[in-house]
């Protein structure tokens, strides 16, 4: 079912207002009320659309990450179709690191939003973006090295990006390059 035009406009206004607030304020000062006022919508609209502050921050991060996904599907090689699997995988890992390092304010806001949720029930399903990235990595791993357990290896690659020490490194300029180089070394070793 297609999204109504007014709902799509509200969604975009809310996401843009959140982005703008993140450029000016620390994450802990970005409330749903403040976002609603900046977007010109009611607080109920923000809650109805995103459920919580954490949901809003996740949606914004997913939107930013979808730019990378679009490049994977329709962009030029090596990130997009047409390059060998090994080159595409290494370009993809570089792209993921770039998305994460460019969005450190958003990630801090997301961490803060999730930290204030008192009774968070663990989600059995991975976030949709994780599932998309996993499928892409596993497909490239399988193509580059058919005998490899591509499913598990893809999970291991993605899991490494979720560790606190790695996330702290990625949000610093030089640390992002170190993490990208380390992942490239690991992937190259797995594929050799």
Cis peptide before 78 (omega within 30 of 0): yes
> Residue 144: which CATH number?
1.10.357.10
Chain Cα centroid distance, residue 123: 17
Q: Which H/E stretch holds residue 15?
A: helix 5-24
Residue 86: per-residue pLDDT:
95
| SS3 state at 80 | coil
**27-62 tens-digit pLDDT:** 788 899 999 999 999 999 999 999 988 888 888 888
If asked whether residues 39 and 24 sit together in one domain, one would say yes
| Averaged pLDDT, 10-23 | 90
> Residue 27: which CATH number?
1.10.10.60
Q: Answer whether residue 63 shows pLDDT above 90.
A: no
If asked whether residues 38 and 71 sit together in one domain, one would say no
**117-171 tens-digit pLDDT:** 433 444 555 556 778 889 999 999 999 999 999 999 999 998 888 787 887 888 7
Tokens 């893809």, located at residue: 154
If asked whether residues 76 and 65 sit together in one domain, one would say yes
Domain coverage including residue 43 = 1-51
The DSSP secondary-structure symbol of 29 reads G
């Amino acid at each position: 079912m297609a999204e109504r035009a007014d709902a799509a406009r509200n969604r975009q206004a809310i996401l843009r207002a959140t982005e703008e607030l993140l450029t000016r304020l620390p994450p802990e000062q970005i409330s749903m009320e403040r976002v609603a006022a900046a977007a010109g919508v009611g607080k109920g609209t923000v809650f109805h659309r995103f459920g919580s502050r954490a949901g809003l921050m996740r949606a914004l991060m997913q939107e930013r990450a979808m730019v990378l996904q679009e490049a994977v599907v329709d962009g030029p090689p090596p990130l997009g179709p047409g390059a060998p699997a090994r080159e595409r995988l290494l370009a993809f890992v570089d792209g993921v690191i770039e998305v994460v390092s460019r969005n450190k304010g958003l990630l801090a806001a997301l961490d803060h939003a999730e930290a204030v949720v008192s009774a968070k029930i663990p989600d059995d399903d991975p976030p949709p973006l994780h599932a998309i990235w996993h499928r892409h990595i596993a497909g490239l791993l399988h193509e580059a090295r058919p005998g490899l357990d591509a499913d598990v290896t893809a999970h291991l690659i993605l899991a490494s990006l979720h560790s606190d020490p790695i996330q702290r490194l990625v949000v610093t300029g030089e640390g992002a390059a170190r993490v990208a180089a380390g992942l490239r070394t690991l992937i190259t070793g797995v594929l050799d």
